[in-house]
Amino acid sequence: MTFKALLVTRNEDGKTSAAVTDLEDNQLPDANVKVAVEYSTVNYKDGLCVGPGGGLVRNYPHVPGIDFAGTVEGSEDEWYKPGDKVVLTGWRVGEAWWGGYSQKASVKGEWLVPLPDGLTTRDAMAIGTAGFTAMLAVMALEDHGLKPENGPVLVTGAAGGVGSVATAILAKLGYEVVGVTGRPETTDYIRGLGADRVIARDEINETVKRPLEAETWAGCVDAVGGAMLARVLGQMKYGSSVAAVGLAGGADLPATVIPFLLRGVNLLGIDSVMKPYDARVRAWNRLATDLPLDKLHEMIQPATLSDLPDLGKAILKGQVKGRVVVDVNA
């Protein structure tokens, strides 16, 4: 039997192209769990892998899609049996291993987590790697003492995938949330997720000579990096933390160590790719309870496999709002 997948190929000149293609089961990677994929989503890494690869793809032809949710079809892993609902994010699936832009996937059982009660597979991919990362960021801030009474929490890139979910989670948990966006047309969207205020990127994106400014933020989820992160570090309250989740504004950090030395600010790195199993389960269970599903559903932009080449280009240009949910069987 055949199934459909988005297959990326590379010619002798090194140019890549992506197209929906019929594949056979024996073309799948050799692993101990086979999953009938129901939904996937679109992340920045996916945009790279659908296109030239960005150095992430090792071998061609390749099936991208760094996360997926579906039903176990066959298993040699004692933890899973046919019919189980599962979620996969990370572990370089969709990069070094064939991923979720396919009606079938073959992966290692240790990479999967059970779908939490209260979430559908569609919900799980509305969350996806971006939402999972957002929850890890919130948990890290909480583990370092963040509480609603501490003051406002800043979310940079608030209209993006990570920022959208972080805003909705923090608002539901009772935090005063301030979103930052470079797209004025997304202001109402961010407010609809629960943000108390929305400020323009230009207000906070410039590098200043002073290493410290007024203590303003009790916490921050930063998806931008670069000059914006450097500026935010100088505005953090004493003993507060920034959870760094992305580099949409660049990988350089033109900052000083002064905020760390004089205000005890913590810069917390958030990795979702290699996160151990227990922490994954904890985060997914928190998402099932702490992310308002009505807000989640408002973020969704539906898509199919054939939409992915254009969406891959769009997300690299910062033109995707909220969460794309890809129905691989549509």
Q: What is the CATH number of the domain that holds 155?
A: 3.40.50.720
Domain assignment present for residue 209? The answer is yes
Select the more confidently predicted residue: 51 or 206: 51
Q: What is the pLDDT of residues 261-280, one digit of tens each?
A: 999 999 999 999 999 999 99
Segment 250-254 mean pLDDT: 91
32 and 79 assigned to the same domain: yes
Report the pLDDT averaged over residues 32-45. Answer: 96
First to last CA, the chain: 18
- Is 268 within 8 Å of 241 (Cβ atoms)? yes
Write out pLDDT tens, residues 169-183.
999 999 999 999 999
Count of domains in the chain? 2
In a domain, 276, yes or no: no
In which band, very low, low, confident or very high, does the pLDDT at 207 lie, cut at 50, 70 and 90? confident
For the CA atoms of 145, 147, 151, 154, the dihedral, rounded to the nearest 10 degrees, stands at: 80
Per-residue pLDDT, 55:
87
CATH number at residue 55: 3.90.180.10
Say if 282 falls within a structural domain: no
- pTM of model > 0.85: yes
Task: Identify the pLDDT of residue 223.
Answer: 95
The stretch 137-157 carries a mean pLDDT of 98
In this predicted structure, the answer to whether residue 205 has a pLDDT above a threshold of 90 is no
201 and 307 assigned to the same domain: no
Mode of pairing for the β-strands spanning 104-107 and 85-89: unpaired
Q: What mean pLDDT do residues 230-253 have?
A: 95
Same domain, 174 and 221: yes
Same domain, 87 and 164: no
Mean pLDDT of the chain: 95
- Check whether residue 298 and residue 196 sit in a common domain: no
Residue 120 lies in a domain: no
The domain of 23 spans 2-115+293-327
Name the pLDDT band for 141 (thresholds 50, 70, 90): very high
Q: What is the pLDDT of residue 94?
A: 97
Instruction: With respect to residue 123, please indicate whether it lies within any of the assigned structural domains.
Output: no
Predicted local confidence at residue 281, as pLDDT? 97
Task: Give the pLDDT of residue 181.
Answer: 95
∠ CA 173-246-271, rounded to 5°? 75
In a domain, 274, yes or no: no
Q: Which pLDDT belongs to residue 212?
A: 96
Residue 285: inside a domain:
no
Question: Is 277 within a domain?
Answer: no
Q: What is the pLDDT of residue 129?
A: 94
